Structure formats: structure tokens, C-alpha cells
Chains A and B, each alone.
Chain A
Amino acid sequence: MSVLALEKLKRRFGDDIIETHSNLGDDTAYVKTERLLEIAQFLKDDPELLFDMPIDNTAVDWWQRSEPRFEIIWHFYSTMKHQRIRLKVRVPEDNPVCASLTPLWPGLDWHERETWDMYGIRFTGHPNLKRVLMYEEFVGYPLRKDYPITKRQPLIEERLVRDVPTQRNPPPDMLNRP
């Protein structure tokens, strides 16, 4: 039963489904970025599938490990057929753009805004694509692997506080010691 969605997708869209796998009851379909909207529409409307509930949208940064760099992931659930499916697309670093699924599932609005906020992936067709967790003054995308992990961008000038010396944060005279 759970493989039905993948079979139907493969029959209907053929080569536009790059890869599918089904592990421990989790069905995953890698699809072409250009056909994403049609495939999503099919998943939502097909009377045998009816994926009516968006669960999640997120991204993975495969920086220096795999090309194209970003993998965007959607999870859907069918409250009628009690099935789950996972859609994935890949977008390159120099043009991280893909279609927004918010017009189909309004519940994805903030999820896709968060993905934009954290990974800098532009969703075309999103009604209100702006940062949701970070502030507008923030420069860069903090969950990208090339963002320095402790780089902070304060909104107001911080008071001078003497840091407690630790091994990770040695006092200045310890740095000058030979």
C-alpha cells in the first residue's frame, strides 16, 4: 500500500522522477526541480493519494560533499489514506531557486519562510517570503555550513564584559606567552 504513491508517480511522470526509495515505511521521491509543482499538484489531487496535509519543509546543505549543494525536502501526510511521502529536489549553490508549494498547501507558508531564513533558498510564488526567525538586519544564512558557527550580529552595541578565561577563550597574556 505504501509504495503505491511512488508507483503511481513513476507511471505518471516517468523520467521526471529521478530516484525513489522506500526504507522502513518512508517513501521518498527525488524529482526534477522544474516539474515539482505539477508533481505536488498530482499528489494532492489524485483520488487514490490525497496528500492533504503538509508536515514539514526543510533543507540540507551538502557543502563540499555533494553537488548540487542544497537539497529541499517536503513531507506530506494523507489523512484519508493514512500514508506519508517525502519529496526532495536539489538546487545548485549559484541559483538556489525552486517553486513554492504554499499556493497548494497554505500551511507551508512559515516552513518555507524558515527555509529561506536559514538556508537562503528562494521559493518563487511564495506570497510573503521574508525572514521569520532572524531579524531583517541579519546578513547571511546561519544554517549554511559555510556560516561561522559563532558569528554573531548584535542589533545594539554590547556592554564591555570581561570574559571568564577558559581554555577555549584564553586571557590575552596567556596568548602572548611563548
Chain B
Amino acid sequence: MRDEEIIHNEVLVTRKADAESWLRTTIEKMTQPGINWSRKYSLFNYPFVTACCGMEFMSVSGPRYDISQYGAEFPRFSPRQADLLWIVGTITQKQAPILRRVWEQMAEPKWAIAFGVCASTGGFYDNYCTVQGADRVIPIDVYIPGCPPRPEQILDGLRLLMDKIQVENGRVMV
């Protein structure tokens, strides 16, 4: 009698899971594009500025190049309120644990941009103290080359990230 009960329950649970899964995929299919669209136009920046590329970041944040035309205008000075991490400048070995900690504090969904050649590959600092690219510490979504990059390149990199966010999948309910 008891065994039958268990089997009965299992069947029910499986059907329920099936139903939930079907519901979830359907909802995701219907809502994902809209959610992605709203996400890509309201990126909250956290600028992790460690070196001279910061000047270009300031330039692109200012009115002339106007990063706010893409909705990414609002720098948050706590990683807990941000969802886009800009790694602006050289990452040294001493800085690497700090960068990882900042990244881990950010809430999902989150993205990271390596800004400039030092953050992308270490640049010409192939020496004892420089991490050879921030992707050795955290996962990076978009790499912007240049030493430092032109503001147009930065806007281009941001557009690339926005395109990437638009086609993302599976970050709705998880």
C-alpha cells in the first residue's frame, strides 16, 4: 500500500515538473526578448578604473560622446547596485583579488567589459607584476582594444555588448 503511494506521488511530481518546465519555457520564449531589450537599455555601470584609460572613460561619459544615449549613463559606486563592470586599465597581481571580489559582489545578471589593451591582454606589460588580461580573473563579455581606445571604439564595444544581451537566453527566472 505504501509503495503504491510513493509511485503514485512520483508520477504526479513528474507531471508537475513537466508542466512547470513547459510553462517556464513558454514564458521565457514570450518574454525574453522584451526583458533583454529593457536590460540592454538600462545598464548600470561600475567603473573599475585603475589606469590612464580612465581619462577616455570620463570623456565617453561626458556630454560630447554621451554614453547615456544608450542608457548606460549611470555610474554606481557600489558593485552591488551595478550590472556592468568596466575594467578600465591595467590589472596587477596585487589588484586581481580585489577585482574578483568586486565581480563576486555584483548581482546576476551581470556583464563585464575589458576596456583597453591592458585589461584585455596585459598590453605591453609582459612583466612580473601584471595579469595578462582581466579574463584570467573574471569572465569578460566584450574586449575593447586600443591604448587607450577612442571614444567611438568604446561606444562600438558597448553596442556589441547590447547586441549580445539582446540574444541572450535563460536568464529570466534562474
Contacts and interface: CB of A to CB of B under 8 A. Distances in A.
B46 to A, nearest CB: 20
B62 interface: no
A161 B136 contact: yes
Contact of B133 (A142, A148, A161): A161
Interface in B100-157: 100, 121, 126-133, 135-139
A158 B127 contact: no
B71 interface: no
A31 to B, nearest CB: 32
A150 interface: yes
Given A134-B129, A142-B128, A142-B129, A152 B136 contact: no
A154 B126 CA distance: 14
User: Could you tell me the dominant secondary structure of chain A's interface residues?
Assistant: loop
Task: Kindly state the interface size class of chain B when it binds its partner.
Answer: 10 to 19
Contacts of A153: 93, 128
Given A161-B133, A161-B135, A161-B136, A156 B128 contact: no
B97 interface: yes
Given A142-B128, A150-B127, A156 B137 contact: yes
A174 interface: no
23 contacts: A134-B129, A135-B93, A142-B127, A142-B129, A148-B128, A150-B126, A150-B127, A152-B128, A152-B129, A152-B130, A153-B93, A153-B128, A154-B93, A154-B131, A155-B94, A155-B96, A156-B97, A156-B100, A156-B137, A158-B136, A159-B136, A159-B137, A159-B138
Interface of A: 134-135, 142, 147-156, 158-159, 161, 164
